[in-house]
Structure 1
């Protein structure tokens, strides 16, 4: 995993790009949970949202060498 990603000549830290992607995916996953009514199974919805973000962030970090990010 390199330290930076070049987007039209602007260098963006790779952890920032991965965290933004994890944030978007966690929002989508939280909305899917809410639309199916599964959020009723959890006591604290914000903790579930943070947990989903952390899990996705760790997964994307592990998969980053495959995508050469």
Structure 2
């Protein structure tokens, strides 16, 4: 993992196409802007975890239903 310090107005580039811009810092909250091609998915970490948990629950329910129907 790479850890960088940035100030308001500074940027970070990922490859040739993705730019991260630090737009505001207020206390413990940092606002960032991300400029990336439309084909690159950008998702908040907590949302990605919620989706993963939901998918795991769905698979578990499907497996339970499958076990019931096989009996």
What range is the shorter-chain TM-score in? 0.3 to 0.5
Q: Which structure's relative contact order is higher, taking Cα pairs within 8 Å and 6+ residues apart?
A: 1
- Which entry has the higher C-alpha Rg, 1 or 2? 2
Give the TM-score, by structure 1 length.
Answer: 0.37
Normalized per residue, the structure richer in strand is 2
